[in-house]
Amino acid sequence: MSQKRPENFLYTQEHEWAHIQNDDIAVIGITDFAQESLGEIVFVELPELGRHLNKDEAFGVVESIKSVSDLYAPVSGEVIAINEELTQSPETLNAQPFESWLVKIKMSNKDEKNSLLSADRYQKICEQ
């Protein structure tokens, strides 16, 4: 089920990915490692459209049968899109973690992407 990690995505220690598009739109999801550790995901809670998030702020949750995992904003900015389909079919986060985006954030500080991890560095964290 697990997919290869896209080289052009950035990653966080919280096992999320951010794909920066058009310079300042961050598309956010959870990684293969995250979905594998959680097990079957049965519930997703996403933020309201238009909400401003600060970097590292908890903005939602993904839950499996037995566990709850908070989602943290990898970057600051405004939520400009949420993936409503996930609330209906949360299991796609297991099947296709890198295609199942959670939210899109209009970044308020483009420099914050420098604090995110490359695929290589993220791999080292997963191996620890």
Partner 1 sequence: MNPSLKTTALHAEHTELKAKMAAFAGYSMPMSYQSLKEEVLTVRKSAGVFDVSHMGLIRVSGEQALEFLDYLLPNWVSQLPDQKALYSPLCNHQGQVLDDLIVYRLSAQELFICVNAANKENDFQWMQEVLAAKKFQCQMEHFFADYSLLALQGPESFAMINKIDAHLKIDDLDYYSFQKKEFMEKNCYFARTGYTGEDGFEIFIPNSLASNFWKKLVELGARPCGLAARDTLRIEVGFPLYGQEIHQDNTPLEAGLQWTVKWQKEDFIGKQALLEQEPSMKQIRLSLDKGIPRQGYAVYQNNEKIGVVTSGTFSPHLEKGIALAQIRKDINLDENNFSIELRGKFIAAQRHPKAFIQGGHK
Residues of this chain that bind partner 1 (CB under 8 A) = 39-40, 42-43, 45, 61, 63-66, 68
Tokens of 15: 């096992």
48 secondary structure, DSSP code? P
Beta bridge partners of 15: none
φ and ψ at residue 63, rounded to 5 degrees: -125, 140
Is the Cβ of residue 47 or residue 74 nearer to partner 1 in the bound state?
Answer: 47
Interatomic CA distance for residues 91 and 94, integer angstroms? 5
Tokens of 49: 């459209």
Is the Cβ of residue 7 or residue 48 nearer to partner 1 in the bound state?
Answer: 48
CB of 81 to partner 1, least distance (A): 22
CB of 79 to partner 1, least distance (A): 17
Tokens of 128: 């620890």
CB of 42 to partner 1, least distance (A): 5
Is the Cβ of residue 61 or residue 125 nearer to partner 1 in the bound state?
Answer: 61
Is the Cβ of residue 56 or residue 112 nearer to partner 1 in the bound state?
Answer: 56
Name the strand (E) or helix (H) holding 68: strand 68-72
CB of 36 to partner 1, least distance (A): 9
